[in-house]
Structure 1
Amino acid sequence: MTPAEVTTTHYTREQLPQVRGTIVEVYSEVYADDIARDPFFSLERFEERLAAHTAAPGWACVVAATETDVAGFTYGFANGDGTTFKLCENMLRAPWRGRGISRVMHDALTRRREERVAQLLVRRERPRLRALYESWGYARTGEQVPFPDAPLYDVMTLPLR
């Protein structure tokens, strides 16, 4: 399966009921090991974060799918002053990884944004993922523990304009 064989569909907060089940299903699959080991990644905590993210201004989501299956999704929202798009999740099911589909979803989402920069967090223990984002033009700009029970993340930013 190549990026050309998937379609991307853009969703806004008003369309969340159409895509919420897909988001939760993909998260549950992709994070199954983390869910079993760390309460921060539990489905309940994810749904709390999803509710907070979708309540933020400018929430949007892109889902990548074939005719028969969902490959993954990415979503984010605008920060309070509208200068930064906070990319919260960008995840693919295992069979779709390593084919450029994550980048297709990312680009389909960020090209619609008016903010000056995109920002995302990458868990410190995932250097290969950080290297992938660096290959897309992101730069590490700091570190953050976004919630008291969260692990340490590297903050990465990408100019959009």
Structure 2
Amino acid sequence: MNPGQNATGLENLVFHHLTAAQARDRRTEVEDIFRGSYIRAIDTGEKFESPDAFMHRFDAYTSPSRAAGFELVIAELDGHTCGQAWGWPLPENTAWWGGLELDEENAAEFTAENGSRTFALSEIMVRSELTGRGIAHALHNELLDARPEPRATLLVRPDNSRAYTTYRKWGWHRVGTLKPSWPDAPTFDVLIRDLPT
């Protein structure tokens, strides 16, 4: 547990770093945080945004066959869970880049992974009643600042202007688009960011 030192006014923000096995043990909390964070998305009825689909992806990400390097950070504020973020380093021959369409970069060079080049930031979320307080940025930094990889990637919906603006402010830039192989997945913009070394 580490106090959230980067979150102004959030002196009681505490982080818990979990491995895949530890994350599976807190599966109920993971789903609860999702349900409290993605209320509007769930209400759309879109299959990809349903709690069942989300937890199916979580189970896949944390399965013993795929969990190498998986890290989940859960944030607590005043003793209550308020948000979470997770990701993992992309292994050699990763399926992450399947369906990638780049704007300019050389695809073969860009997608060459060795297990220590790129960290995939898969999820970051904060309970809806607590957004706008700096918790998401604190979670983002807590997960990424100590990573050994030189770069990170994430996927964002092109029409999610609030998230897009925030990610750009945090140093991310667009390199192309990608449609994941998950059932009912939309097409996302691919963002990249250099990590501290």
Match of 1:85 in 2: 119
With normalisation by structure 2, the TM-score equals 0.76
Amino acid at match of 1:21: T
Match of 2:69 in 1: 58
Give how far 1:95 is off.
2.0
- For the pair 1:6 / 2:13, whether they are aligned, the reply is yes
Match of 2:185 in 1: 150
Report sequence identity in percent. Answer: 32
Amino acid at match of 2:133: R
Which runs of no fewer than 5 residues in structure 2 stay unpaired? 1-7, 92-113
Match of 2:35 in 1: 28
- For the pair 1:19 / 2:26, whether they are aligned, the reply is yes
Give how far 1:142 is off.
1.0
- For the pair 1:42 / 2:50, whether they are aligned, the reply is yes
From 130, 133, 136, the equivalent of 1:99 is 133
- For the pair 1:119 / 2:127, whether they are aligned, the reply is no
Cα contact 1:76–1:85 (8 A) shared by 2: yes
Q: Find the aligned partners of 1:3 and 1:150 in 2 and give their Cα distance.
A: 35
* Per-residue Cα deviation, 1:97-133 (whole angstroms, up to 9, x for no partner): 1111111111111123111111111111102211101
1:4–1:70 Cα change, 3 Å: same
What is the number of residues matched between the two proteins? 161
* Structure showing the higher helix proportion among its residues: 1
Give how far 1:57 is off.
2.0
Amino acid at match of 2:46: D
Q: Find the aligned partners of 1:57 and 1:78 in 2 and give their Cα distance.
A: 8
1:26–1:133 Cα change, 3 Å: same
Give how far 1:66 is off.
1.9
Cα contact 1:2–1:101 (8 A) shared by 2: no
Cα contact 2:83–2:126 (8 A) shared by 1: yes
From 163, 167, 170, the equivalent of 1:129 is 163
Give how far 1:73 is off.
0.4
Q: Find the aligned partners of 1:93 and 1:29 in 2 and give their Cα distance.
A: 5
Cα contact 2:154–2:190 (8 A) shared by 1: yes
SS at match of 1:2: coil
Q: Find the aligned partners of 1:2 and 1:118 in 2 and give their Cα distance.
A: 28
Higher mean C-alpha displacement, 12-21 vs 122-131: 12-21
Q: Find the aligned partners of 2:61 and 2:127 in 1 and give their Cα distance.
A: 21
* Per-residue Cα deviation, 1:43-69 (whole angstroms, up to 9, x for no partner): 221122112222332100111112332
Which runs of no fewer than 5 residues in structure 1 stay unpaired? none
- For the pair 1:110 / 2:144, whether they are aligned, the reply is yes
Instruction: Select the structure of larger CA radius of gyration.
Output: 2
Cα contact 1:57–1:79 (8 A) shared by 2: no
